[in-house]
Amino acid sequence: MKSAIFDLDGVIVDTAKFHFLAWKKISKKYDYDLDEIQNEKLKGISRSDSLNHILRWSNKKISKKEFIATLNEKNIIYLNFIKKLTHEDALPGVLKTLNLFKKKGIKIALGSASRNSKIVLNKLSLIKYFDVIIDGNDVVNSKPDPEVFIKGAEALGVFCEDCIVFEDSEAGVKAARDAKMNVIGICDSKNGLKNTLFNMQGFLTIKPNEIIKYFT
């Protein structure tokens, strides 16, 4: 039996829009207007790496003290956005899929760059479904480094080769593949992810048995 590792943003819940709005506000501090195309490059990576991208795009240099303060400011903006999250904000089909995996005895882990994953999962009333949570608080290297997924497999007590990852970002797919894991991509038809078992637009766009067959 294979084990499942889920990314958070864009897979379980759509908080990517809140990250974008927070980073857009931060970018304006440095006379830069972050757009949605560039924001795609921030998906799946750490807060520090995201800020480094923005500073490079804006051609700005800041002190270590200001860097840390800016990371905290971004997080406060983001947390204010997610205060109103409820169980109804879980993406369609996610709860049904988690219930099915539990019924089938499939181990479930979270592998996310977010440092707020437990807060989000609690607000969604989904934290009870996860046997293991590995996030930005537990790793040194962010995606596309495979550390988060390797640690997820170790915590589950399984081999990396026996894990399938649900991901929506190129960085996440590369991280999973470098960890010797297969990937099911969550993406729209216009922006298909490469090196996946298959891609789907969401958990309601494919029959559950079509997913389960990869885990047995």
Cα within 13 Å of Cα(36), Cβ side: 3
Q: Is 33 a catalytic residue?
A: no
Amino acid 45: pLDDT: 86
Q: What is the pLDDT of residue 16?
A: 80
**CATH class of the domain whose range is 3-13+86-212:** alpha beta
**Distance separating alpha carbons of residues 38 and 46, to the nearest angstrom:** 15
CATH homologous superfamily for the domain 16-82: Putative phosphatase; domain 2 (1.10.150.240)
pLDDT of residue 191: 65
> Looking at 7, 135, 145, 168, which residue is catalytic?
7
Whether residue 146 is preceded by a cis peptide bond, meaning omega within 30 degrees of 0, is: no
Q: Give the strand order in the sheet containing 182-186.
A: 132-134, 108-111, 3-6, 163-167, 182-186, 198-200
Indicate the pTM of the whole model: 0.86
Tell me, yes or no, if 9 is annotated catalytic: yes
SS3 115: coil
Query: How would DSSP label each residue in 54-88?
Result: HHHHHT----HHHHHHHHHHHHHHHHHHHTT--GG
pLDDT at 190: 60
Domain ranges of the chain: 3-13+86-212, 16-82
Phi and psi, residue 137, nearest 5°: -80, -15
149 in Cβ contact with 160 (< 8 Å): yes
**Structure-token match 């440095």, residue found:** 30
Spans in the chain with pLDDT lower than 50: none
pLDDT in tens, 98-124: 999 999 999 999 999 889 999 999 999
